[in-house]
Amino acid sequence: MNEQRKQILEMLAEGKLTVDEAERLLAALDTEPAAVAETNPEQLPRPKRPKYLRVVVDAKENGEQAHVNVRVPIQLLRAGVKLAGLIPAKALDQANDELQRSGMPIDLTKLKPEDIDELIDHLGDLTVDVTDHESKVHVFCE
């Protein structure tokens, strides 16, 4: 462990930094190796949150080329979770049953707005590439 990382962790342990500030400083060390430990944590840029989930598909089906490019606003995910709270419990149970039958073990009754924020925070790291001889699928955030 280098000296700068050690200093950041000590400052965190002493309560001089919040967890978020320490996380930003450690992330900055990965991108900017020069003297970040002396930087004021308030001056560090916050990690950029994704605004869109992008799905791009290029495929050949029955000899025809198909191109799909979908850009979904992340805010739509938040709105969807809030709207799910308005769905009657019986309808949610039926939706959960259908999801289970389709092989998606998701319980819509347990999806909460605070969970979606954590998911969105992690979406920035998401990149999925699937390529076979006839299709390409690229899922990422921007």
pLDDT digits (tens, 9 = 90+) for 2-40: 788 888 888 888 888 888 888 888 887 776 544 444 556
What pLDDT score does 137 carry?
84
Query: Which whole number is the average pLDDT over 59-65?
Result: 81
Sign of CA dihedral 14, 32, 142, 129: negative
Other CB atoms within a 10 A radius of the CB of residue 12 amount to 17
Model pTM score: 0.47
Token pair for 139: 């899922």
Q: In angstroms, what CA-CA distances link 39 with 11, 44, 78, 98?
A: 13, 8, 34, 52
Kindly state the DSSP code that residue 132 receives in the 8-state scheme: -
Q: Which residues contact 129 (CB under 8 A, 6 or more apart)?
A: 136, 137, 138, 139
Q: Answer yes or no: is pLDDT of 43 > 50.
A: yes
What pLDDT score does 47 carry?
61
What pLDDT score does 33 carry?
45
